[in-house]
Structure 1
Amino acid sequence: MAEARRLERARTALRWLLAAAFFFVGIAHIRSPGGFLAITPPWVPWPREVIFATGVCEIAGALALLNRRLRRIAGIMLAAYAVCVFPANIRHAVEHIAIGGTRLGWWYHGPRLAFQPVIVWWALFAGGVMDWPFGRRRRSA
């Protein structure tokens, strides 16, 4: 029982941290889209509108993650979102795109790309979709 409480405390802390991160990045997408536009792949239609919509989705997902009724779907949707934006992260790295006049090297891009699957897991864990690797998720009766 104590282990279950520790797991839920960790999940709660990670949920709030992830929600804060998505919330603030969502605001950045809306207020300062230039850097995001620079790394958006050319095959994305209406890039400015897509960047705005992704900001709205990040903010909505962050708020939903903090709502008990919406938490599970928010975790799933934020995980899917993290998968969908991965091509922009790859483009940023491979094409050495400067943002604000700054080119970031592989010291940034390597860990950033490697961390993307962690963000997917984090959203699913914070949303209560899964417990892995900490245990099996119990089905409710």
Structure 2
Amino acid sequence: MKFDLRNIARWVLGFSLLMAGIGHMTFARTEFQAQVPDWTPFSKDFVVLASGVVEIILGLGILILGRSKKWVGWVVALFFLAVFPGNISQYVNGIDAFGLDTDTKRLIRLFFQPVLMLWALYACGVFEKRQN
């Protein structure tokens, strides 16, 4: 296995998604529920559990398939886009969770969501040119 920067980024992101998914179902469940906007049509607990399952699947997908499947990067990037309204809701409603206990911290966090999206695309080789 080649350990270049892209592979390191892939492994870190994959394991981070696995841990976040596990956190959704266990030790950080309440914190994640605080981020679910009130307008969602499902219960906050269902949204947290379902997104946790998705994060575990995506984490495994990055670890197992991400090196050769660019579509995994796109799916993970779209997932990060899909959960972005929760981050916006946390900022707009001033909800404290995960140490984001000021408006400034919550605002700064919003700028990291595009970074996560780019990270997923990079880690899965979406930006690599095709070899003939």
Please state which band the TM-score falls in when normalised by the shorter chain.
0.7 to 0.9
Partner Cα distance (2:6, 2:97) in 1: 34
Kindly state the Cα deviation for residue 119 of structure 1 after the two structures are TM-superposed: 0.3
Partner Cα distance (1:91, 1:107) in 2: 14
Unaligned runs of 5+ in 2: none
Partner Cα distance (1:43, 1:12) in 2: 38
Kindly state the Cα deviation for residue 103 of structure 1 after the two structures are TM-superposed: 6.1
Superimposed CA distance per residue, residues 31-90 of structure 1 (whole angstroms, 9 cap, x where no aligned partner):
132222222112212232221111111111111111137742321111001101111111
* Structure 1 segment 77-96 matched on structure 2, within 5 A: 77-96=75-94
> CA-atom RMSD, angstroms?
2.3
- Going from structure 1 to structure 2, the CA distance change for 1:71 and 1:23 (only over 3 Å counts) comes to farther
- Going from structure 1 to structure 2, the CA distance change for 1:71 and 1:55 (only over 3 Å counts) comes to farther
* Structure 1 segment 81-120 matched on structure 2, within 5 A: 81-99=79-97, 104-120=101-117
The answer to whether the 8 A contact 1:79-1:121 is kept is yes
- Going from structure 1 to structure 2, the CA distance change for 1:64 and 1:97 (only over 3 Å counts) comes to same
Q: Which residue of 1 aligns with 2:130?
A: 139
Tell me which amino acid in the other structure corresponds to 2:129: R
Question: Which of 39, 59, 71 is matched with 1:73 structurally?
Answer: 71
Partner Cα distance (2:116, 2:102) in 1: 21
Partner Cα distance (1:63, 1:16) in 2: 10
Kindly state the Cα deviation for residue 139 of structure 1 after the two structures are TM-superposed: 2.5
Q: Which residue of 2 aligns with 1:133?
A: none
- Going from structure 1 to structure 2, the CA distance change for 1:121 and 1:66 (only over 3 Å counts) comes to same
Question: Which of 57, 61, 79 is matched with 1:60 structurally?
Answer: 57
Partner Cα distance (1:105, 1:45) in 2: 28
Kindly state the Cα deviation for residue 140 of structure 1 after the two structures are TM-superposed: 4.5
Tell me which amino acid in the other structure corresponds to 2:40: V
- Going from structure 1 to structure 2, the CA distance change for 1:93 and 1:126 (only over 3 Å counts) comes to same
- Going from structure 1 to structure 2, the CA distance change for 1:127 and 1:86 (only over 3 Å counts) comes to same
Identical aligned residues as a percent: 33
